[in-house]
Amino acid sequence: MSSIYSATVTAPVNIATLKYWGKRDTVLNLPTNSSISVTLSQDDLCTTTTASAGPDFTKDHLWLNGVDQEIEGSKRLEACFRELRKLRRALEDEKRAQGDETVVPLSAFKLHIVSENNFPTAAGLASSAAGFAAFVSAIAKLFELPQSATDLSILARQGSGSACRSLFGGFVAWNMGSEADGSDSSAECIAPREHWPEIRAAILVASADKKDTSSTNGMQITVKESSLFKERVDNVVPKRFEEMKKAILAKDFESFAELTMRDSNQFHAVCLDSYPPIFYMNDTSHAAVRVVEEINKQAGHLIAAYTFDAGPNCVIYYLEENEQQVLGPLKSVLGKLTGWNKKEKISPFVPTGFETRFLEKLSQGIERVILTSIGEGPQDSSAQLIDNNGEPLR
């Protein structure tokens, strides 16, 4: 077999504090509102992707967690392949025009892509965001593209809307843009991880099952059916977008927490206002909300903020200085689950007067705990997921 060219990248999960929900263009994944997210540490949640190209490959292949994925007919994947090859072809043409006849025609080669998540896929943990961010970043690295992270975010967005935010670390804004071709609908970093490194996140995994209603279908139903939706995108989100950026830059956790919880509540209210209603949260999710409220009540101010994406899993943001107050009650009922190895110093503790019935409900529905922190954007990796024949190593 001829030479195989490859590159590997890891990409993070991001969890929105100001939700993206609804599309003004379903083909280009153009949103009806801007959004803001926190990028989480890849030490705990990431997608690793190896992209390879070779003259002997006969067709494009994508393997996700060991399963061969269908590419033909997938408009999102085909769009990413097409646009990335177009950029590589332009680069090759430029180099040849400068007299470089040794440039490898990677744009003409078929691609083999192997991608692996270290967390459940399609369960409301932003797997598609990390997946498409890693997919685009790995091919861009393989193709030696000069485009910026913002430029690549436009491509990643076409695969999965929220993937554009996983092209950056820290606190990230996805500006909805106004151009019909999506050229100004891209992500940018509001503040890097180093700006507010004390932010922590506890993810309570209520279910690792695949969602009943996909995010794509849910958005289409909501845009069409919810009478609350227009008020959200026209008035509520634009105001919150500016308030959330201000809170992040000022490191004002209480404002950040309130905005995060209010937006999560409204996002799910809009889903419930659809017809038929869309249920992403379940009884365990509702118990998690009450537990966070009780934690804040005991503290006398906001030290924890819940948020739920399109799934039942609860993400709780808090500051490192309040870790014992936030995690103590959770560990009292969830301490036997995996995920506490990094927090052995946290004591299981329920304050006097704490409403324990919600903790008991939580203990019946949570199956995994992930404790993590704020993280960086895509990173180059020395890992190799493809063998010398262009096949998955495992």
Closest CA to 197 of 40, 326, 55: 40
Q: What pLDDT does residue 344 have?
A: 87
**For the chain, how many residues are written?**
394
> 4 falls in which pLDDT band (50, 70, 90)?
very high
H or E segment and range at residue 9: strand 5-12
User: pLDDT (tens digit, 9 = 90+) per residue, 9-31?
Assistant: 999 999 999 999 999 998 899 99
Q: What pLDDT does residue 97 have?
A: 96
Q: What pLDDT does residue 210 have?
A: 64
Angle, vertex CA 44, rays to CA 380 and CA 64, nearest 5: 65
Q: Which is it for the CA torsion 287, 18, 304, 170, positive or negative?
A: positive
Two structure tokens written together for 228: 């609350």
CB burial of residue 337 (10 Å; 0-12, 13-18, 19+): middle
Percent of the chain with pLDDT over 70: 97
Does 203 share its domain with 236? yes
Does 78 share its domain with 11? yes
Q: Give mean pLDDT, residues 205-211.
A: 71
Among 166, 192, 218, the domain boundary falls at: 192
User: pLDDT (tens digit, 9 = 90+) per residue, 323-377?
Assistant: 999 999 999 999 999 899 988 899 999 999 999 999 999 999 999 999 999 999 9
Does 71 share its domain with 94? yes
CB burial of residue 343 (10 Å; 0-12, 13-18, 19+): middle
Q: Give mean pLDDT, residues 193-210.
A: 89
Q: Give yes or no for a contact between 131 and 118, defined as CB atoms under 8 angstroms apart.
A: no
User: pLDDT (tens digit, 9 = 90+) per residue, 287-303?
Assistant: 999 999 999 999 999 99
Does 247 share its domain with 102? no
Closest CA to 170 of 320, 15, 295: 15
Q: What pLDDT does residue 216 have?
A: 76
pLDDT exceeds cutoff 80 at 263? yes
Q: Give mean pLDDT, residues 195-220.
A: 84
Q: What pLDDT does residue 2 have?
A: 72
Q: Give mean pLDDT, residues 232-243.
A: 97
**C-alpha to C-alpha distance for 203 and 28, rounded to whole angstroms:** 30
Higher pLDDT, 176 or 223: 176
> 98 falls in which pLDDT band (50, 70, 90)?
very high
Does 55 share its domain with 97? yes
Q: What pLDDT does residue 209 have?
A: 65
Q: Is residue 88 part of a domain?
A: yes
Q: Give yes or no for a contact between 37 and 15, defined as CB atoms under 8 angstroms apart.
A: yes
Q: Is residue 382 part of a domain?
A: no
pLDDT exceeds cutoff 90 at 219? no
Q: Is residue 341 part of a domain?
A: yes
Average pLDDT, the chain: 94
pLDDT exceeds cutoff 70 at 6? yes
Count of domains for the chain: 2
Q: Give yes or no for a contact between 6 and 51, defined as CB atoms under 8 angstroms apart.
A: yes
My answer on whether omega of the bond before 276 falls inside 30° of 0, hence cis, is yes
Q: Is residue 392 part of a domain?
A: no
Q: Give mean pLDDT, residues 97-122.
A: 90
Does 125 share its domain with 252? no
Closest CA to 200 of 371, 26, 31: 371
Does 221 share its domain with 146? no
Q: Give mean pLDDT, residues 258-271.
A: 97
Q: Give mean pLDDT, residues 267-289.
A: 94
> DSSP state, 354?
-
Helix axes 149-159, 75-97, angle to 10 degrees: 150
Q: What pLDDT does residue 53 have?
A: 97
Q: What pLDDT does residue 73 have?
A: 84
Which residue range(s) make up the domain with 168? 5-192
Residue type, 294: E
**C-alpha to C-alpha distance for 377 and 165, rounded to whole angstroms:** 9
Does 184 share its domain with 206? no
Cα dist. 223→32, 40, 84, 175, 274 in Å? 9, 29, 31, 19, 8
Q: Is residue 384 part of a domain?
A: no
Q: What pLDDT does residue 211 have?
A: 60
Q: Is residue 232 part of a domain?
A: yes
User: pLDDT (tens digit, 9 = 90+) per residue, 47-56?
Assistant: 999 999 999 9
Does 178 share its domain with 204? no
Q: What pLDDT does residue 119 have?
A: 74
Provide CB contacts within 8 A for 236, sequence distance 6+: 266
User: pLDDT (tens digit, 9 = 90+) per residue, 59-68?
Assistant: 999 999 989 9
Two structure tokens written together for 337: 């689950």
